[in-house]
Amino acid sequence: MLEDKNTQKTSLADLGEFGLINHITKYFTIENASTVTGIGDDAAVLDASKKQTLVTTDLLIEGVHFDLSYMPLKHLGYKAVMVNLSDVYAMNGTAEQITVSIAVSNRFPLEAIEELYSGIQLACETYKVDLVGGDTTSSTKGILISVTAIGKVEKEDIVLRSGAKETDLIVVSGDLGAAYLGLQVLEREKQVFNVDPNNQPDLDSYTYLIERQLKPEARRDVAGFLKELAIKPTAMIDISDGLSSEIMHICSQSKVGCKIYEEKLPLDPQVISACEEFNLDSTMVALSGGEDYELLFTVPIADFEAIKGNPNFSIIGHITAENQGLNLVTRASQEIELKAQGWNSVKEA
Amino acid sequence: MLEDKNTQKTSLADLGEFGLINHITKYFTIENASTVTGIGDDAAVLDASKKQTLVTTDLLIEGVHFDLSYMPLKHLGYKAVMVNLSDVYAMNGTAEQITVSIAVSNRFPLEAIEELYSGIQLACETYKVDLVGGDTTSSTKGILISVTAIGKVEKEDIVLRSGAKETDLIVVSGDLGAAYLGLQVLEREKQVFNVDPNNQPDLDSYTYLIERQLKPEARRDVAGFLKELAIKPTAMIDISDGLSSEIMHICSQSKVGCKIYEEKLPLDPQVISACEEFNLDSTMVALSGGEDYELLFTVPIADFEAIKGNPNFSIIGHITAENQGLNLVTRASQEIELKAQGWNSVKEA
């Protein structure tokens, strides 16, 4: 006899849009005093504040930004929030609210949407942000998530991309390239699975890489570390498209050049061994991998003593005059021009 | 000889994401003092304000919310903004900023995206809102737009859905049902076109209906009209899903009932004649049509003299005790229960 495997599945059509919204939002609590009214009216109401408001938005689309064959829906929800919070932290601000719009095709039952929102909820709890609105609709194909994050910052604390000055040090939090390699590992396992679904992959030596790809964390802690060190960056950006692409944004908006030192790039041991295995150049991976969601910033050279040796940060280079261009100094002390090979979603698809 | 009809078309892949953003955003100017930094950094920066902040978001997807065979891209861009501004106005606020994220498949050349953004730009200019951010990416199918609108409102001016009181009058701006009938006309013409592409449709008698569907205007003016009349609504909502659905939101959130009078529903003459032609009940169309983007609100009965006869508003009923339910009083003085048959995007797809 055939077993009905779908007994636990609730169709979205039965629930309807408002039923779905009520069902999902009952698990969310409000954490921030600035959230006056969240979901349930035409618009969310946020309290007046002496601080300035930060707004950022990102769109993630199945088949373009993620592959559900290895991205669990809960992780997808978590990551969609992280991508946006990361932009708020890159302004030196505090993220306080998000709106989340999703479109799903009818192939997804309610339980799938619950999984997605459980990841969003975990992100909200962990990062103390409130879900204050959104839209849920059907799609003709696949799933997509559009998140807008709203944050606050004291006017004098804002760090733009445009403030880097000649001789400033270039600093990056954490390490680079792991998320990209995590994607390579997952893509390879997908191919293996397609050939032999019974193969049990041994992913122990890639745990850090896979976690960086599937469950990135936005660097909410960096602002606090910098405050302890009494450092205010002159320019800051988050690394979503790859280090090369991001340093180019800082340099072009600050009208400066830069020197990045290959030997200074922070790499996790798993990145180095996976690069050997995949026959990839680890410097290229660090420069162009993307999705690290680390913060890249510049600080006055006077802060060198304060920041050197701090386990959270790596000094990877310095800002130069604009006419000197953007250069990578290799381990062999050769200077080569930096090229943006960051992930370009319009070009790739 | 074959003519290359694509000489004017620029591929999005050639331009790249950053090229596309630069290309599009150069046409936009900043109108609001509260916009400190718009596009070009990790997040937009909005000025501190004594007013409260309103945030709302909506997602429009090709094949679900619009059909490009009769929705010109410029109109789509305009409408996507209107849908969101309408929610800000429904809180009695002023819309000041928007973010716009789009995903497009490679079937769209740059010129199509320019058309879309020219509509967004026209909406920004007309309604004095600033485009401050967004995301552009590729899609695996079709086009979608996600807009977030940000507004401001004095704390004491906010109108929620939850404030309606027994005996309050129920008032609607403009007229109802035209956008839905516009859609019926356009759908019919699409069918005719599919059968006979050379047929020249005569749409003169449907101009108002089609305009309401393709180029709706959000009711930015209502707040001013009400201020002139010294009226503050007790509850307000915009009509996106249809009058029935919206009055249900007000009643459930205000914990009241209502009586709506069929004979009081404001209908344009084109709505009446098109209903006859399409063999549709005009009351049903007014109640359930949706996409009117008018404002539905309740005012104390003491405001009756101030509001009656005002050409911008129609008094269509009154609020009752919750236990009396939600009722439509027909022209024959029969009371029938109101049912929400508003457009439910999850159910329909």
Using a CB-CB cut-off of 8 Å, the residues of chain B touching A49 are: 48-49
- With b meaning 16 or more CB within 10 Å and e meaning fewer, what string describes B299-325? beeebeeebeebeebbbbbbbbeeeee
User: Which pLDDT does position B8 carry in this prediction?
Assistant: 62
User: Which pLDDT does position A8 carry in this prediction?
Assistant: 63
State the ipTM, two decimals.
0.87
B217-250 confidence digits (pLDDT tens): 999 999 999 999 999 999 999 999 999 999 999 9
Angstrom CA distances, A171 to A219, A237, A287, stand at 14, 11, 14
B288-304 confidence digits (pLDDT tens): 999 999 999 999 999 99
Helical segments of chain A, H only: 12-25, 73-89, 110-127, 178-195, 207-214, 222-228, 243-254, 269-278, 282-288, 304-307, 345-348
Nearest CA in chain A to B61: A139
Using a CB-CB cut-off of 8 Å, the residues of chain B touching A46 are: 52-55
Q: Say yes or no: A329 and A192 in one domain.
A: yes
Q: Say yes or no: A227 and A332 in one domain.
A: yes
Q: Which domain holds residue B101?
A: 12-157
For an interface test with A, the pick among B239, B346, B347, B348 (most A C-beta atoms closer than 10 Å) comes out as B346
Q: Say yes or no: A197 and A62 in one domain.
A: no
Out of A42, A344, A349, name the one closest to residue B238 (CB).
Answer: A42
Amino acid residing at A310: N
Out of B15, B57, B153, name the one closest to residue A148 (CB).
Answer: B57
- With b meaning 16 or more CB within 10 Å and e meaning fewer, what string describes A220-239? bebbebbeebebbbbbbbbb
Per run of 10 residues, the mean pLDDT along chain B (length 349 residues) is: 54 73 77 80 82 93 93 96 97 94 89 92 94 89 94 93 97 98 94 85 90 97 96 96 94 96 97 96 94 97 95 98 96 89 39
Out of A48, A103, A344, name the one closest to residue B17 (CB).
Answer: A344
Query: How much of chain B is helix, strand and coil, in % rounded to 5?
Result: 40, 25, 35
Q: Does the residue B3 lie in any domain?
A: no
Nearest CA in chain B to A149: B43
Closest Cα of chain A to B332: distance in Å? 33
Q: How many CB atoms lie within 10 A of CB A3?
A: 6
* Counted domains in chain A: 2
Dihedrals phi, psi of B30, to nearest 5 degrees: -95, 130
Q: Does the residue B148 lie in any domain?
A: yes
The Cα–Cα gap between B114 and B20 comes to 10
Q: Say yes or no: B115 and B48 in one domain.
A: yes
Q: Say yes or no: A143 and A173 in one domain.
A: no
Using a CB-CB cut-off of 8 Å, the residues of chain B touching A342 are: none
Out of A59, A99, A237, name the one closest to residue B55 (CB).
Answer: A99
- Following DSSP, what letter does each residue of A276-293 receive, concatenated? HHHT--HHHHHHH-----
> Which residues have a Cβ under 8 Å from the Cβ of A333 and sit 6 or more positions away?
none
Nearest CA in chain B to A161: B41
Token pair in block for residue A308: 């050197």
Q: What percent of chain A has pLDDT over 90?
A: 70
Q: Say yes or no: A149 and A259 in one domain.
A: no
Element (H, E) at B207: helix B207-214
Q: Say yes or no: B184 and B76 in one domain.
A: no
SS (H, E, C) A122-172: HHHHHHCCEEEEEEEEECCCCEEEEEEEEEEECHHHCCCCCCCCCCCEEEE
- Whether B57 sits inside 8 A of A101 (CB atoms) is yes
**Structure-token match 């009351």, residue found:** B283
